[in-house]
Amino acid sequence: MTLDGFPAATFAGGCFWCLEADLLHLPGVLSATPGYTGGDTADPSYEEVCQGDTGHYEAVQACFDPALVDYRALVDWFWRRIDPGNADGQFCDHGPQYRPAIFFHDAAQRREARDSTAALAASGALPGRNVTALLPAGPFYPAESCHQGYSLKQPRRYQQYRLGCGRDATLQRLWGPQAADPLCAYVPRLPLGVPPEAELRALLSPLAYHVTREAGTEPPFDNALWNEHRPGLYVDPVNGAPLFSSQDKFDSGTGWPSFTRPLLPGNVTTRSDKTLLTPRTEVLAWHSGNHLGHVFPDGPREAGGLRYCMNSAALRFVPLKELSNAGYRRYAGLFSPR
């Protein structure tokens, strides 16, 4: 699998555990990789970077889908997740490796980052001077495996660290109550919501409407995709936002299409569902608000332990061989060997 078809955005904003977790909330972001960049030492270790003398920043490199989010929107969002005026580090972490920076990958990103910086200054929203560096992207070295996905692998320790470091308290002091929203200042490129009711009913079958808009459930083993084994994407039938990949699909034995994870974590959202005696966690498409199904903690342990149990009627399947014609050519690399 390769993400070469997608642009990268690289940010440094203090502890990369926190910035990685924050980036993965964003619809349109496929991956977020903590690592080291901006220094002189090739392939440094965490211990070397922590000494503060390699010149590297703790940073996160995200791959994103430009059809879903613009680079400028990522930069505008980034300001609200850091303290742009702290030249000594970020939050409770001090040292050169924790300084804030934006690493641009091309001339267009440099221009967008400059424009966003100027707009922030003109808005008067940030008291004091913005010391965040704007630097050309250089070699990026992924951090050790123990640092990848830390908020997911060690949720209790991660929350203890984040609370103890005062990250969210500082963000609220700087940006106000809206900073509690992980999507503060984020503007998606793909419009939110659904078309008017008449158009929506014409677009969806009666079953698909019942499932997606009325939180219905289709019969197990009697639906279109539970036994679909071809490679391809599973997308929102209303707006086409990619939701799941065949590479994360598995046979759960339940009779519904099941996945170990969403393709883009921010493209789905969850909420508590207490309609039955046993509480469940409902899964919805972020852009459309469509009901998709539920997620359960009984999936393959080696793949994270989750089972996203979806309704076929809430998905549209795009086979690999049809990706280009359907407008998803950029995703073809996901199905190629490295």
Note the pLDDT tens digit of each residue in 125-166: 887 899 999 999 999 999 999 999 999 999 999 999 999 999
Local confidence band at 5 (pLDDT 50, 70, 90 cut-offs): confident
205-232: burial string, b at 16+ Cβ within 10 Å, e else = eebbbbbbbebebbeeeebebbebeeeb
50 a catalytic residue: no
SS3 content of the chain, % helix, strand, coil (to 5): 35, 20, 45
Q: What is the pLDDT of residues 85-110, one digit of tens each?
A: 999 999 999 999 999 999 999 999 99
CATH of span 197-335: 2.170.150.20
The SS3 of residue 202 is helix
Q: What is the pLDDT of residues 274-306, one digit of tens each?
A: 999 899 999 999 999 999 999 999 999 999 999
The SS3 of residue 237 is coil
Q: What is the pLDDT of residues 233-253, one digit of tens each?
A: 999 999 999 999 999 999 999
Mean pLDDT of 315-330: 97
309 a catalytic residue: yes
- What pLDDT is stored for residue 1 in this prediction? 65
Beta bridge partners of 12: 101
Q: Over the chain, what is the mean pLDDT?
A: 96
- What pLDDT is stored for residue 126 in this prediction? 85
User: Residue 176 pLDDT more than 90?
Assistant: yes
Local confidence band at 2 (pLDDT 50, 70, 90 cut-offs): confident
CATH of span 8-180: 3.30.1060.10
Q: Cα(25)–Cα(281) distance, rounded to whole angstroms?
A: 17
Question: Which entry of 50, 146, 165, 309 is annotated as an active-site residue?
Answer: 309
The token pair at 211 is 């499932």
Sequence spans of domains, the chain: 8-180, 197-335
